[in-house]
Amino acid sequence: MQRRLTVVEGMALAQDIAQNWQQIWNFQARKGDVLLDTYPKSGTTWMQEIVDLIMNDGDEQICRRAPVYERIPFIELLHLMKP
C-alpha cells in the first residue's frame, strides 16, 4: 500500500497529516505538557514507554492502563483519536 504524499511548506507529508497541518502548526503546549520528539525509526515507542514510566514513578500497573498510542499520542494523528 502506497501512501500519497502532499508537499506542505517544502515538506512531503502523508495526505491525512497534510490536511491537518494548520492545526498541528498552531498547537500550543500548556504548562506541564511533555513533548517527546524522536527521529523516525529510532526507538520512539520505547521512549514513550520510558517517559510514561518516569511520569508515573515507575508504576508498571499504571502504565498498563491503555495502549501506548493512547497514553502518549502522536500530535500529527490527534485528529484520528476518539474525543
pLDDT tens per residue across span 11-34:
899 888 898 898 889 999 999 999
Q: How far apart are CA 83 and CA 72, in angstroms?
A: 15
Residue 83 confidence class, pLDDT cut points 50, 70, 90: low
> Could you state, in order of their start, the residue ranges of all structural domains in the chain?
5-80
Alpha-carbon distance 55 to 49, whole Å? 10
Is residue 81 predicted with pLDDT exceeding 80? no
For residue 76, give Cα distances in angstroms to 1, 63, 81: 20, 22, 11
pLDDT of residue 28: 93
Rounded to an integer, what is the distance from CA 47 to the centroid of its chain? 12
Determine if the pTM surpasses 0.85. Answer: no
30-74 pLDDT per residue, tens:
999 999 999 889 999 999 999 999 999 999 999 999 999 899 988
